[in-house]
Chains A and B, each alone.
Chain A
Amino acid sequence: NAGVTQTPKFQVLKTGQSMTLQCAQDMNHNSMYWYRQDPGMGLRLIYYSASEGTTDKGEVPNGYNVSRLNKREFSLRLESAAPSQTSVYFCASSRSSGYTEAFFGQGTRLTVV
């Protein structure tokens, strides 16, 4: 009963480095999402994938790219990390579009120095 699994849990990057955050869900959900959480800002949507094979920009997509590798996996890539990308990143999934519940992973705490 893993639900949504994110790796890594913690990461420190130097400015300009790249990295990929991995996310996998085992609930056979169609839709997956990447959010960032910053103090006083709530959760902001970076990118989402409504179904396998599709991805779309959310509220704050600049500096990020995503790949929906298959139905289970949705990765987030930072090509050239900046200090402004220091945040906690959450992956989530939901059964489909509509008002179904979204399930969140435990988060990745990323620090860019």
Chain B
Amino acid sequence: QQQVKQSPQSLIVQKGGISIINCAYENTAFDYFPWYQQFPGKGPALLIAIRPDVSEKKEGRFTISFNKSAKQFSLHIMDSQPGDSATYFCAASKAPGGYQKVTFGTGTKLQVIP
């Protein structure tokens, strides 16, 4: 049972453009939504995370938008750069805490071309 659906599977964006990755979840008990960035040959690393009490969170060029009623959240990368080329995973978890409860999306491979 896939509880977090991520799209698209792959994405090609021109340098300077906006990259948008979408995720949808089913379990309304989820209350923590992190995004991970993974470069080839490396492990995932936390990029940015949001809780459902806010609709948007911005860190530099990376923004998470959250729509609780639609059960959707998305990652926007503004002014995309070739160095942003990586695989991005959304995830979701619910209280009580514990990282073992995190459910990951299937990943989006982003390629930013010059």
Contact = CB atoms under 8 A, between A and B. Distances in A.
Interface of A: 4, 31, 33, 40-45, 48, 50, 56, 58, 90, 92, 94, 97-107
B43 A100 contact: no
A42 B107 contact: yes
A109 to B, nearest CB: 9
Interface of B: 4, 6, 9, 32, 34, 41-46, 49, 89, 93, 96-100, 102, 104-107
A92 B104 contact: no
A4 B43 contact: yes
A45 B42 CA distance: 18
Contact of A42 (B45, B89, B96): B89
Given A42-B105, A43-B104, A99 B97 contact: yes
Given A43-B89, A92-B99, A102 B104 contact: no
A106 B43 contact: yes
A104 B41 CA distance: 12
Given A31-B98, A42-B6, A92-B99, 13 more contacts: A42-B104, A42-B106, A45-B100, A45-B102, A50-B100, A97-B98, A97-B99, A99-B49, A99-B97, A101-B34, A106-B42, A107-B41, A107-B42
